[in-house]
Amino acid sequence: MTMAIERTTIKVKKGARPNSPILIVGLPGIGNVGKLVAEHLRKELKAERIATLYSPHFPHQALMLKNGSVRLVSNRFYLAKSPKKGGSDIIILTGDTQAVSPEGQYEVNSRIVEFFAKRLKGSFIYTVGGYNLGEPIVKEPRVFGNATSGKVIKGFKSTNVIFGKSRGVIWGSAGLIIAFAKMKGLDGLCIMGEVGPFDIDASAAKAVITTLSKKLGLEIHTQNLDKMIEQTAKLVRELEKQAGMPAPLESGTEAGSKEHRPSYIR
């Protein structure tokens, strides 16, 4: 098969016909919340891949696979059929990366919205991300939201999603996809878990999954995330213990002086 990738391209599996789908987008980002949520949902819902997105705006990389071969970095669409007759199917979009330039972000994300609206005939999009308030430790992550309209916000009044409190900008796909959805007349919500200082924040991901599962009527188990959360808590306890230990004596200094204490917590 010959495949030239001179622009963002989506290769669709034959026979993929979702019913009134909802799109959930989770890509690498702050706290890796989106990626964690999407991958967890994909496994729990046993979703099957229906399309793959390639783009020259992705990093110029090929991933080395366990079997010794390689593949291009990509984003992938997975389909989970609704258990209810006539119910909305769920499309999960996740992948290895986001576009690395502003021009690439605009092209890739507008293409995603166009594909979902025109080819998959969907009308509601969730994007998932992390929101950092600069707290050193977040014990009970909150869930923040920014929506395409007041109508969408009203639809989440009975949930724990906090609207109107998040400030600043939403970088990358999590923000642009919702903005493009609004321009095309689609409904959507960027749902963000509150993250701490770690690169991978399973607590924030669990908070988002709990909210999404209740809203969508899904039964999602989180044991794997709970294990990650406990591992992180154990690491924090260990770092706090180390940070409180007196430093070794050095010439001309006092044991445990401020200038020579470990600075693992920033």
Residue 18, in any domain of the structure: yes
Give me the pLDDT at residue 247, please: 43
Angle at 139 between CA 134 and CA 98, to 5 degrees: 55
Query: How does pLDDT run across 183-238, given as a tens digit for each residue?
Result: 999 999 999 999 988 889 999 999 999 999 999 999 999 998 989 888 877 877 78
- Cross-strand pairs, 162: 144
Which single residue is written with the structure tokens 């999590």? 174
pTM over 0.85: yes
Sort strands 161-163 and 143-147 into parallel, antiparallel or unpaired: parallel
CATH number of 156's domain: 3.40.50.10900
- Sign of torsion over alpha carbons 221, 30, 144, 196: positive
Query: How does pLDDT run across 231-255, given as a tens digit for each residue?
Result: 877 877 787 777 775 444 343 333 3
Residue 50, in any domain of the structure: yes
Residue 47, in any domain of the structure: yes
Task: Tokens for 245, please give them.
Answer: 């230990």
Return the SS3 of 109: helix
- Cross-strand pairs, 161: 143
Task: Count CB atoms within 10 A of the CB of residue 102.
Answer: 10
H or E element at residue 172 = helix 172-183
Query: How does pLDDT run across 9-51, given as a tens digit for each residue?
Result: 999 999 889 999 999 999 999 999 999 999 999 999 999 999 9
Range of 71's domain? Answer: 9-221
Residue 231, in any domain of the structure: no
Q: Residue range 137-159: average pLDDT? A: 94
Number of structural domains found in the chain: 1
Residue 262, in any domain of the structure: no
